[in-house]
């Protein structure tokens, strides 16, 4: 096989990697996983220390999904044991140990934080001292931790730090000093890496970390951020996970980094207020106009601010000594990704994966631009089969079908609903733009989605290979007077719980977990009101009659799928001349109550095209 020329930097990496074996503690965590990916990409054999066989299998699957199938050995470690429960002889070839293990949680008891961060850090250095090759220890501390200097906390100073900063940050400061002191006493080479808040992958935004800044972004997305914290000078720097992993993989290969601490963060990170404003505008949500200084937030009741006291110490205007890390990175070919685009990809990933509620994997979740509308898409955006979901649910209500569908399938949240921005005023242009690049499409409309699918089909009959209408509300009995009331519907939808919604829509409150995400979306500002308006509009007799007439004159192939407990009106049944399928015992939402049967009918229809 012929390859292109190898750069001097790539050749240097390959040469260094040929002599390395890396042991990674904390390999199942956010940073640890990506570090393993980077080390393997550089040809470094990796030993991943995991707590249990189950966590090792989870990591193995994650690595496989990220292109890592070989090059990683798994061992189990016991962090309660003085020797970490590992076989020193099996680790004799280790040349570097990366310590990312520890306890990362605000509100921890002091002993838990001390054991997780301080004791674990010391034991890992002691392990390095026992190994024959005296591996370099790369210890991950933190950008604020490193700014406290090299003092080992003792006595009253230690107690004061835990009181003032909280158990997490104080234990990290203590661990930083203990690791340095222990390494010096035992003659173990070490390097300290002090990263800032770690955001997602610069290319995809992928991130599974949901505390700290990510939690603030979540509150902004959900309309629960009443005020911007801090002032115009407040600085909460970030660094992308892929850049951090590359930097960590670099430092143990260089003699010049022994005994040094490096602050790894993006100095171009916007101030916190500007950052949240940028993300809010990107999300197309209303950003708060009020700002609260940190001192004021500290004095307000926590029940009002929803702010964990431990997080407030991170809100300051301090800058950090990054020059040495930046100079080292540039000299070895590492360049920080462009700041704002990487931030916005991270914000998109967080929202698309519902801030950790949905695990990454198939079907692909992303935001796409459709006719200027920020649109949530589930599945392949170029698929030949497209689903428009029902009210008052979202695209995620079709996730089980999308995951099992044998061909490419795309489900989208309609403008102004689910995770999508926009409103009903541009639905026609939005749908035309959504489907414009596809030469032929099987369009599936569910409930209100059926109405808009039919209108599109009538205007573009040459674009559709098939039209499937699932529970088309305009052919079914009108909703009752209370359901048609915009005020009543708005209030009920805004306050409903997954259990109440499941009982009303599915007849079984045990199916509530399938509606959790839809209820979360209903809590977002204006969503419940939009849905109530759409329900009212859809029940209009004139509109229902117009849609029925459009269906009667549509020249293409149509497949109607209804539930036995959610039938068409007798007149609609008598008038319909195409394929009509009834799913026994199903209601208006068969994708949730009878997914297997619905999938069978959809795929048989697709195969027949």
158-167, 532-541, 561-570, range with the lowest pLDDT: 158-167
Task: Tell which wins on pLDDT, 360 or 353.
Answer: 353
Q: What band does 7 get if pLDDT is binned at 50, 70 and 90?
A: low
For the chain, percent of residues with pLDDT exceeding 70? 89
**Cα 52 to the chain's mean position, in Å?**
25
What pLDDT does 416 receive? 93
Distance between CA 422 and CA 383 in Å, rounded?
23
- CATH number attached to the domain at 364-607: 3.40.50.1820
What pLDDT does 109 receive? 81
Distance between CA 122 and CA 84 in Å, rounded?
11
What pLDDT does 1 receive? 37
What pLDDT does 182 receive? 96
The answer to whether residues 415 and 423 touch, using CB atoms and an 8 Å cutoff, is yes
The answer to whether residues 79 and 120 touch, using CB atoms and an 8 Å cutoff, is yes
pLDDT digit string (tens) for 105-157? 777 787 888 888 889 999 999 999 999 999 999 999 988 775 555 566 666 77
Residue 160 has pLDDT above 60, yes or no: yes
The answer to whether residues 552 and 533 touch, using CB atoms and an 8 Å cutoff, is no
Give the chain's mean pLDDT: 89
Q: Report the interhelical angle of 120-130 vs 167-186 (nearest 10°).
A: 20
Residue 609 has pLDDT above 50, yes or no: no
Residue 20 has pLDDT above 90, yes or no: yes
**Cα 209 to the chain's mean position, in Å?**
8
Q: Where in the chain is the domain with CATH 3.40.50.1820?
A: 364-607
pLDDT digit string (tens) for 336-354? 999 999 999 999 999 999 9
Backbone Cα Rg of the chain: 28
The answer to whether residues 370 and 422 touch, using CB atoms and an 8 Å cutoff, is no
Task: Please state which of the four CATH numbers 3.40.50.10490, 3.40.50.720, 3.40.47.10, 3.40.50.300 is assigned to the domain occupying 17-195.
Answer: 3.40.50.720
Q: What band does 227 get if pLDDT is binned at 50, 70 and 90?
A: confident
What pLDDT does 154 receive? 67
> Which pairing describes strands 385-388 and 46-50: parallel, antiparallel, or unpaired?
unpaired
Q: Where in the chain is the domain with CATH 3.40.50.720?
A: 17-195
Distance between CA 125 and CA 129 in Å, rounded?
6
411 beta partners: 378, 387
Q: What band does 90 get if pLDDT is binned at 50, 70 and 90?
A: very high
Work out the average pLDDT over 584-602.
Answer: 97
Residue 605 has pLDDT above 80, yes or no: no
């Amino acid at each position: 096989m012929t390859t292109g020329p190898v750069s001097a930097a790539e050749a240097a990496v390959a040469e260094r990697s040929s002599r390395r074996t890396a042991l990674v503690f904390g390999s199942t965590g956010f940073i640890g996983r990506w570090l393993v990916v980077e080390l393997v990409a550089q040809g470094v054999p990796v030993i991943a220390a995991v707590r249990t066989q189950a966590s090792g299998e989870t990591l193995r699957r994650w690595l496989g999904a990220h292109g890592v199938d070989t090059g990683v050995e798994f061992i189990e470690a016991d962090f309660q044991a003085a020797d970490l429960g590992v076989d020193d002889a099996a680790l004799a070839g280790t040349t570097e140990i990366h310590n990312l293990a520890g306890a990362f949680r605000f509100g921890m008891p002091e002993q838990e934080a001390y054991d997780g961060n301080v004791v674990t850090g010391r034991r890992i250095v002691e392990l390095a001292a026992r190994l024959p090759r005296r591996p370099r220890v790369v210890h991950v501390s933190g950008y604020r931790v490193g700014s406290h200097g090299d003092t080992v906390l003792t006595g009253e100073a230690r107690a004061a730090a835990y009181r003032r900063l909280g158990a997490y940050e104080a234990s990290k400061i203590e661990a930083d000093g203990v690791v340095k002191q222990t390494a010096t006493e035992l003659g173990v080479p070490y390097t300290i890496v002090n990263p800032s808040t770690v955001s997602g992958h610069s290319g995809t935004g992928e991130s599974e970390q949901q505390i700290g800044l990510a939690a603030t972004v979540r509150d902004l997305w959900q309309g629960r951020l009443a005020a911007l914290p801090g002032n115009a000078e407040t600085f909460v720097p970030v660094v992308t996970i892929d850049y951090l992993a590359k930097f960590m993989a670099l430092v143990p290969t260089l003699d010049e980094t022994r005994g040094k601490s490096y602050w790894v963060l993006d100095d171009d990170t916007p101030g916190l207020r500007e950052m949240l404003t940028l993300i809010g505008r990107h999300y197309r949500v209303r950003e708060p106009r009020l700002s609260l200084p940190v001192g004021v937030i500290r004095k307000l009741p926590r029940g009002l601010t929803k702010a964990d006291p431990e997080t407030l110490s991170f809100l300051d205007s301090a800058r950090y000594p990054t020059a040495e890390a930046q100079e080292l990175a540039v000299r070895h070919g590492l360049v920080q990704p462009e700041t704002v685009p990487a931030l916005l990809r991270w914000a998109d990933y967080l929202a698309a994966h519902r801030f950790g509620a949905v695990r990454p994997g198939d079907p692909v979740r992303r935001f796409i631009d459709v006719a200027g509308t920020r649109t949530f898409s589930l599945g392949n955006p170029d698929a030949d089969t497209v689903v428009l979901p029902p009210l008052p649910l979202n695209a995620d209500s079709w996730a089980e079908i999308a995951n099992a569908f044998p061909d490419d399938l795309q489900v989208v949240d309609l403008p102004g609903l689910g995770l999508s921005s926009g409103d009903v005023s541009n639905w026609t242009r939005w749908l035309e733009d959504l489907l414009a690049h596809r030469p032929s499409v099987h369009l599936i409309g569910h409930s209100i989605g059926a109405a808009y699918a039919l209108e599109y089909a009538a205007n573009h009959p040459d674009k559709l290979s098939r039209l499937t209408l699932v529970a088309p509300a305009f052919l079914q009995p009108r909703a009752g007077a209370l359901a048609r009331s915009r005020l009543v519907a708005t209030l009920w939808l805004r306050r409903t719980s997954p259990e109440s919604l499941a009982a009303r829509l599915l007849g079984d409150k045990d199916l509530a977990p399938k509606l959790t995400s839809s209820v979360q979306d209903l809590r977002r500002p204006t969503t419940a009101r939009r849905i109530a308006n759409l329900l009212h509009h859809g029940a209009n007799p004139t509109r229902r009659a117009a849609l029925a007439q459009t269906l009667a004159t549509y020249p293409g192939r149509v497949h109607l799928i209804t539930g036995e407990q959610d039938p068409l009106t007798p007149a609609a049944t008598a008038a319909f001349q195409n394929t009509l399928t009834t799913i026994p015992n199903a209601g208006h939402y068969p994708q949730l109550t009878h997914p297997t049967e619905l999938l069978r009918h959809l795929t048989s229809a697709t195969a027949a095209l």
